[in-house]
Amino acid sequence: MTSRNADKPAISSGPRGIQSIEVGYRILVAIQMGPGAVALKNVAARAGVTPSAAHNYLTSFLRTGMVISDGRGLYRLGPSLAALGMTAARDVDHFELVRVAAIELSEETALGVAVVIWSNGPVILINQSMVRGRVFELRNGPVSFLHTAAGHVFAAYLPEAAVLPVLRQELEADGIAPTDDEARARLEAIREPVHRLGYSVVELRAIPGYLAASVPIWNVNSDVAYGLTITSPMALMDTSAKSPQIQALRKKGAELSRLLGAPARLWGA
């Protein structure tokens, strides 16, 4: 239930902080989610405050130019936030942002975590190769496209022209010479479950007995910037959509996508 004092400054639990600033941030994120201009009732519902509390915050945000309104009770982010955002985009170290998030996800799930980029194939950039105190073999550098969860994420969302040559190369290394139709059918078989579920699951060839699950991290251009992956022995990972591990993975992927400026349709609920 929403507190009637949600619009009043207060000290939050845990480390000292100003609760009203945190509530204000939730209201701005609620507007960021869009699509387009957002009605007051939707802002309040998304932020978890009463409409009257949301209105009080929005009045101040309008005065500072952080929010603009079309006069019909619909709100958008304003020019003051745009100026702040452009400065932050210049100053924020995205690598460090993602590295810290990978550590947090590993600590939360007690699973291995890897951050993977695409460079003519998937390449591990960051990895936390420990599962409940047990270190497994996972090194930075190029990894399989067909046999990794992040590889399947890139297969699902990168253009066909970028991924088909890599798919062919790996199949040929396994002694398979696919026709064009066979290669495209193999690619579609990889893409379909990722598009349907929003994440990939793969049994790792390089580490027998281990599973990996991966989600995309989107950037401001609506491109997949990273694959965020959790890894563990099969017995320790529940890959169902409602499992705490998959939910934590998806939540962290959505959070990073939002912080990288991706459109809300790619990370919003």
- 6: part of which helix (H) or strand (E)? none
Task: Please report which confidence band the pLDDT of residue 165 belongs to, taking 50, 70 and 90 as the band edges.
Answer: very high
Question: Do 94-266 and 1-79 have the same topology in CATH?
Answer: no
- Return the domain boundaries, the chain: 1-79, 94-266
Reading the block at residue 98, the tokens are 């993602």
Output the pLDDT for position 213: 97
Measured at the alpha carbon of residue 252, what is the angle toward residues 195 and 44, in degrees to the nearest 5? 95
- End-to-end alpha carbon distance in the chain: 20
Amino acid of residue 77: L
Task: Encode pLDDT of 36-47 as tens digits.
Answer: 888 989 999 989
- Determine the pLDDT at residue 164: 95
> What's the rounded mean pLDDT across residues 254-261?
91
Alpha helices in the chain (DSSP H): 19-32, 40-47, 51-64, 79-91, 94-109, 149-157, 160-173, 180-197, 244-259
Q: Which residues contact 13 (CB under 8 A, 6 or more apart)?
A: none
Work out the mean pLDDT of the chain and round it to a whole number. Answer: 86
Residue 1: is its pLDDT beyond 60? no
Question: pTM (2 decimals)?
Answer: 0.73
CA angle 258, 124, 189 (to 5 degrees): 80
Write the class of the CATH domain 1-79. mainly alpha
Q: What is the per-residue pLDDT for 3?
A: 40
**CATH 1.10.3430.10 for the 94-266 domain, yes or no:** no
How many other C-beta atoms can be found within 10 angstroms of the C-beta atom of residue 160?
14
Average pLDDT over residues 238-261: 94
